[in-house]
Amino acid sequence: MQEIRKLWTYLKPYLGLVQLNILSNILMAFFTIVSIPAIIPFLRVLFNLQEKVTVKPDLQFSTSSILNYLNYWFSHIIDQYGSSRALIYACLGIIIIFLLKNLFRYLSQFFLAPVRNGVVLDLRNALFAKLISLPLGFFTDERKGDMLTRMSSDISEVEFSIMSVLESFFREPIIILGSILFMFYVSPSLTIFVFALILFTAFIIGGISRALKKKSLLAQNRLGSLLSIVEESLGGLRIIKAFNAEKFQEDRFHQENDQYRRLMNRILWRRDLASPLSEFLGIVVVAVLMWYGSRQVFNQSIGPETFIAFLFAFFNVINPAKAFSTAYYNLQKGLAALHRIEYILQTENNVQEAPHPRSIDTFHRAVRYDHVRFKYQDQQPWVVDDVSFSLEKGKTIALVGSSGSGKSTLADLLPRFYDLDQGEIWIDDVPIKEYSIRDLRSLLGIVSQEAILFHDTIYNNIVFGKEGVTQAQVEQAARMANAHEFIMETEHGYQTLIGDRGTKLSGGQRQRITIARAFLRDPQILIFDEATSSLDAASERAVQQAMETLLTDRTAIIIAHRLSTIQHVDEILVIKNGKIIERGNHQELSNQHGEYVKFMQLQAI
C-alpha cells in the first residue's frame, strides 16, 4: 500500500488529466453496461415477445427503470410504425451506444498518453539528477549497468503499471459490478454461478501472483548485472582483446544471461497461466449456465431474450476480470521496479550543503588541512590519517607516494567529492563545509590522470559546464594548452566529434583538451593529477609545457608520478599509508635519504 501511495505521488502533477482519464473510463464502463439491456428490446421484437407498456414510467438510474422505459419506448414505436421500423431503431440505438462506448475508450487513452510520458519524463529527470548529485563513494558499491537498468527498464515497468492502474482499476470494477447487478435483477440463482467463478478465479490468480513481485525484483536485479557486464566489456574492450579474454567474457555473459532467461521463464509461466486459466474457468461456468439457464427457459422462469442478455452480461464480466488480473500482475512488476528506483531517490547524500552556505568567488590567504582523517567505510583502515599542511595562495604543493597511499583521496576532499571523518579543511580560515558547494567547486580546476571526455565536439568538451563563453576564449585556452594546432588539423576543427570518451584522439591530445578546459575556467586553485607517464616523448613534452603554463602564478596541488616534473615546486609531501612521512622541497628531501630518495632512485633522478 505504501508503494502504491508513492506511485500516486508521481501522478499528482497530472491530476487534471488523470481525472479526465478516470471520467472517460467510467463513462465507457457505463455505456458497456447499458449495451446489455439495450439488446433485449431488439431480441423481443425479433422473437415477437414485446410486451405492451402504455403508461410512460419515470426514468431512474436502475436496471428495472431502464428496462421499463425501453419497453415503453419500443411499444410506442411498434404501435406507430410497426415492427420493421422498431428493429431499425433498435439497431441504431445499439450502434449509438457502442459508438459512445468506444469514443470514451479512445478519450481515456488520449488523456492517458501525456500522463504516461510525463511520469516517465519526471522519473528519469529525478533519477538522473539524483545520480549525478550523489557523492563518489556511493558508486564504489554500485554497478553502472544496474544504474542503466533502473533508468530504462525499471522506469518502463512503472509506466506499464500506471497504464494498468488507470485503465483497469477504475473501469473494470464498474463493468463487473454493473453487469452483476443486471444479472441479479434477471436471475439471482444464475448469478450465484458467476460469483463462484469470480471468487474461485480471484483465489487462483491471487495464489499465482503472490510471488510475482518478489521474482520481478530478482529479474530486474539480474538484468542490471547483465548490463553491467556489457558496460564493463565495452569500456575494457582493448584489454579484453589484448589478453585474448573474449571467450572468458562471453562465458561470463552467457552464464548471467542464462540465469536471467531461467528466471524470466518462471515469471512468464506464472503470468501467462492467469489468462487461460481464468478463461477456462469461465467456459466451464458458461457451460453450466447454458444447461441450467436453458432449463429455466423451458420452465418459463425467464424469457429466451432475457437469458441471452444474461449471457452477454456474463461475458461482460469475464473479460474485465481477466484484464483486472493482468493489471494486478503488471502492478506487482511495476511496484518491484519502483522499489528499485526509490532506493536511489531515497539514498541519503552524505555530502550536504550547509543550511545557510557562504558565497565565495575568490580566496586571499591559504588552504589549510587540519588533522584530516578519512576512510571509505567504517570497518576499513584510514585512507587519510591525521594529515595537516597549509597551501598559501600562489604556492604549489606536490603529493608523492606509491599507488594506494592516499594522494588522490587527499586531493578529492578539497572539492568535497567526499566529506572527511575527522579534522577540518579551511579556506581563508573558514571550514569548506560552510561554503556553497557550487561556489567552492567554481574556485577549483581539476585535471585528472585519466582524461575525462564526452561523446561531443571538441568545442563542447572544452566549454563543458561554463556559460557565456566566446569562440575566441575557447581558442585562446586551446592555444595555451598546446591544443589549437592539432584541433585545426581535425576534419571539422572545434566542431569535430571526438567519439565515446575521446577515442578518436590520442592520449596526449585528450590530456591537452582537459588542460584547455582548465585554462578556460581560469581556476584560482588547481588540482593536477599527472598523466605524463602514459604518453610518448612528444606528447609528454607538449603536455608538460601546457601544464607549466597553467601552473604559472596559480595555487596548485599536484599529484605527482614523475619527480622530474616537480623539482621546482614550493613543497613536496611524501605520503605513505595515508600519513605524511616527509615534507620539504626537492633539495631538502634529496638530502634526507628517506622515502623520497627511494623514489628518485627508482626513477633514476
Say if residue 328 is in the same domain as residue 399: no
The counts of H helices and E strands in the chain are 20, 10
Give how far the C-alpha of residue 118 lies from the chain's centroid of Cα atoms, to the nearest Å. Answer: 13
381 and 340 in one domain?
A: no
Residues 186 and 218 grouped into a single domain: yes
Per-residue pLDDT band for 398 (boundaries 50, 70, 90) equals very high
Least confident of 244-248, 424-428, 583-587: 244-248
- Asked whether residue 148 is domain-assigned, the answer is yes
Average pLDDT of the segment spanning 89-111: 88
Output DSSP code: residue 401.
Answer: -
The domain that contains 16 carries what CATH number? 1.20.1560.10
Q: Is residue 179 very low, low, confident or very high in pLDDT (cuts 50, 70, 90)?
A: confident
Task: Please give the angle made by the CA atoms of 99, 88 and 58, to the nearest 5 degrees.
Answer: 75
Task: Report the alpha-carbon angle 124-126-128, nearest 5.
Answer: 65
Beta strands in 407-448 (DSSP E): 422-427, 430-431, 444-447
User: In degrees rounded to 5, what are phi and psi of residue 237?
Assistant: -60, -35
Same domain, 305 and 410: no
Residue 50 has pLDDT above 60, yes or no: no
The total number of structural domains in the chain stands at 2
Q: Write out the three cell numbers for 246.
A: 573474449
Confidence class of residue 393 from pLDDT cuts 50, 70 and 90? very high
Is residue 357 included in any domain, yes or no? no
Sheet containing strand 525-529, strands side by side: 444-447, 525-529, 555-559, 396-400, 571-576, 579-584
The rounded Cα 278 to chain-centroid distance in angstroms is: 34
Give yes or no: residues 282 and 380 share one domain: no
Q: Which amino acid is at 284?
A: V
**pLDDT at residue number 186:** 77
pTM beyond cutoff 0.75: no
Residue 426 pLDDT class (50, 70, 90 cuts): very high
Q: Which of 49-58, 128-137, 143-152, 194-203 has the highest mean pLDDT?
A: 128-137
Both 128 and 190 in one domain: the answer is yes
> How many beta carbons lie within 10 A of that of residue 140, not counting itself?
9
Q: What residue numbers bound the domain in which 173 lies?
A: 2-345
More confidently predicted of 161 and 511: 511
Query: pLDDT of 311-335, one tens digit each?
Result: 778 777 777 877 777 777 777 777 8
Q: Three-state DSSP class for 393?
A: coil
Residue with grid cell 557523492, as numbered in its chain: 135
Label residue 58 by pLDDT band (50, 70, 90). low
Question: Would you state the pLDDT for residue 414?
Answer: 92
User: DSSP assignment, residue 152?
Assistant: I
DSSP string covering 76-123: HHHHHH-HHHHHHHHHHHHHHHHHHHHHHHHHHHHHHHHHHHHHHHHH
Same domain, 247 and 325: yes
List Cβ neighbours of 389 (8 Å cut-off, separation of 6 or more).
368, 369, 397, 571, 573, 580, 583
The pLDDT assigned to 272 comes to: 74
Q: How confident is the model at residue 400 (pLDDT cuts 50, 70, 90)?
A: very high
Based on the domain organization, do 396 and 544 belong to the same domain? yes
Residues 335 and 373 in one domain: no
Residue 67 pLDDT: 64
Tens digits of per-residue pLDDT, 477-529?
898 888 898 999 988 999 998 887 788 888 888 888 888 888 888 889 988 88
Same domain (yes/no): 253, 221: yes
Average pLDDT in the chain: 81
Q: Environment class of residue 21 by beta-carbon count within 10 Å: exposed (0-12), middle (13-18) or buried (19+)? A: buried
The reply to whether 103 and 148 lie within a common domain is: yes
Higher local confidence (pLDDT), 79 or 11: 11
Domain boundary among 296, 315, 345: 345
Task: Looking at the structure, tell me whether residues 339 and 371 fall in a common domain.
Answer: no
pLDDT of residue 374: 93
pLDDT digits (tens, 9 = 90+) for 527-574: 888 764 456 667 667 777 877 777 788 899 998 888 888 888 899 999
What confidence score (pLDDT) does residue 395 get? Answer: 92
- Name the residue among 309, 210, 331, 324 with its Cα closest to residue 278: 324
Q: Where are the beta strands (DSSP E) in 349-419?
A: 366-374, 384-392, 396-400
What's the rounded Cα separation, in Å, for the pair 289 and 295? 10
Q: Which cell goes with 505?
A: 584522439
